[in-house]
Amino acid sequence: MNAPVKPVFRPASGARLRIGLWLAVHLLVLLLPSAALRAETTASKEYQVKAAFLFNFLQFVEWPAATFPAADSPLSIGILGDDPFGPALDAIVRDESVHGRRLVILRSLRPEDLQACHLLFICKSEQRRVDGILSRLTDRPVFTVSEINGFARQGGIVALYADGRKIRFEINMSAARRADLKLSSQLLELGRIVGAETGSEGGR
Give how many domains the chain has, as a whole number: 1
3 state DSSP class of 98: strand
Residue 171 placed within a domain: yes
CATH of the domain at 87: 3.40.50
Residue 36 placed within a domain: yes
Q: Comparing C-alpha atoms, which of 55, 60, 110 is closest to residue 77?
A: 55
pLDDT of residue 108: 98
pLDDT tens string 119-164:
999 999 999 999 999 999 998 999 999 999 999 999 999 999 998 8
pLDDT tens string 72-112:
999 999 999 999 999 999 999 999 999 999 999 999 999 99
Residue 131 placed within a domain: yes
Residue 4 and residue 187: Cα distance in Å, rounded?
13
Q: Does the reported pTM lie above 0.85?
A: no
Residue 202 placed within a domain: no
Q: Which domain holds residue 56?
A: 15-197
Q: Comparing C-alpha atoms, which of 39, 41, 19 is closest to residue 30?
A: 19
Residue 10 placed within a domain: no
Residue 97 placed within a domain: yes
Residue 3 placed within a domain: no
Helix (H) or strand (E) run with residue 55 in it: helix 45-59
- Is pLDDT of 48 > 70? yes
Residue 89 placed within a domain: yes
